Structures are given as C-alpha cells and as structure tokens.
C-alpha cells in the first residue's frame, strides 16, 4: 500500500485595522476647563514643554476609589477607570468620569481579575465611556508599579492616554502612571474637579 501525503492549504491571514478603534477627540483644553470647577489646590493646567499627559478626575470617582481601597486595607483592591481622552493641538488630556470596582482574587500584595469580575464590568460598561485605565491599592506598601503591574499596563493599557492609579489607603498617598512604560504623571498635571 502506497502512502499519500495530504497537503492542506493554510488559510491566509489578513490584518485589517478596525475603523472603530478609540482615539482621543479633538477638543480645546480651555473649552473643557470652562465646563468644570477645579477643586485641586494649585493653578490652572499649563502646557508643559514635554507635553506630558494632563489627568482630570471627577471628585466622586476619587471618593469611590478611596472608599473601595479602604474597604479592606489588608488586601489589594482594584477596578476600571472610564472617561474620555482629548487632544488640544499636541496636548493630550483625559477626563475620568466613571469608576467600576472589580471583584478580584486578592491578597495583601497581589490581586487578579477573574472571569466573573470581567463579566460584571463588561455588563456595566455597555452604556458608558471608553476604558481609560485601571486602579488598584497597595495597602501599606507605598506608591509604585510592581513588575506585574508594569506587565498589565504594557499589555492592556499601553496607549499614552491610558493610566494606572495606585493608592495606599494606609498612608493616604496616591500616584498616577501612564502609557506602556507606566511613567509617573507629575502631580502638578493631576486635577480633581466637581
């Protein structure tokens, strides 16, 4: 009996860039500022030479994250941040308007999103703004991005307008990190508003 070699034709894979990929909308920073009431100490945001990201956060979102982080200071807490990203000339800025706490598998120094947490988050996200990032707590550990945090940022929140907010509910400190490299956002570039 003679063996026959089966030749299977491999399908050709073509990449098509989707037209519905989220991109920041064009909006003048001064126009945006005219619609909010800043409550952060300090002056109005000014464009910096390096055009670093400006972060605006609604006061209610900050309070929701702080409450979630303080809910259990023995374990890390986490959630998702939504809002809008804008571009004024070459100045990128974001407006965080929604916070979605997640149910996670957590410990004092680690957490992970699981299938159930994502199902709940996706069901809530159907009617809100795009995802701009994530937040999590480091209870009693300080403000930094761990190697795992940096990997998460690089894989899932790599755009320059996507952020990670880290909070330490024990010391009441917080920090914001942006883009694929998780670069620390200058505190002078972070604003809370009503």
- Give whole-number Cα distances, 152 to 121, 146, 161, in Å: 17, 10, 15
Instruction: Give residue 186's pLDDT.
Output: 92
pLDDT digits (tens, 9 = 90+) for 111-126: 665 566 566 666 666 6
Structure confidence at residue 50 as a pLDDT band (50, 70, 90)? low
Going from the N-terminus, what domains does the chain have, and what CATH number goes with each? 25-193 (3.40.140.10)
Instruction: Give residue 171's pLDDT.
Output: 93
Distance CA(76)–CA(105), nearest Å, equals 9
Task: List, in order, residues 6 or more apart from 56 with CB less than 8 Å away.
Answer: 32, 36, 93, 94, 95, 96, 191, 192, 193
Distance CA(128)–CA(121), nearest Å, equals 11
pTM metric for this prediction? 0.81
């Amino acid at each position: 009996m003679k063996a026959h070699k089966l030749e299977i034709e491999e399908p050709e894979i073509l990449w098509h860039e989707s037209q519905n990929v989220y991109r920041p909308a064009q909006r003048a920073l001064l126009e945006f500022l005219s619609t909010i009431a800043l409550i952060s100490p300090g002056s109005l945001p000014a464009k910096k030479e390096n055009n670093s990201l400006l972060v605006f956060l609604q006061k209610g979102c900050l309070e929701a994250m702080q409450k979630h982080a303080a809910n259990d200071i023995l374990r890390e807490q986490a959630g998702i941040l939504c809002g809008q990203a804008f571009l004024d000339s070459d100045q990128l800025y974001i407006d965080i308007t929604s916070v979605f706490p997640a149910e996670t598998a957590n410990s004092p120094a680690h957490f992970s999103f699981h299938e159930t947490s994502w199902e709940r988050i996706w069901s809530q996200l159907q009617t809100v703004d795009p995802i701009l990032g994530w937040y999590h707590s480091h209870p009693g550990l300080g403000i930094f991005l761990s190697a795992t945090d940096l990997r998460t940022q690089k894989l899932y929140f790599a755009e320059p307008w996507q952020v990670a907010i880290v909070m330490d509910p024990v010391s009441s400190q917080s920090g914001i990190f942006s883009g694929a490299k998780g670069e620390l956002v200058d505190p002078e570039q972070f604003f809370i508003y009503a």
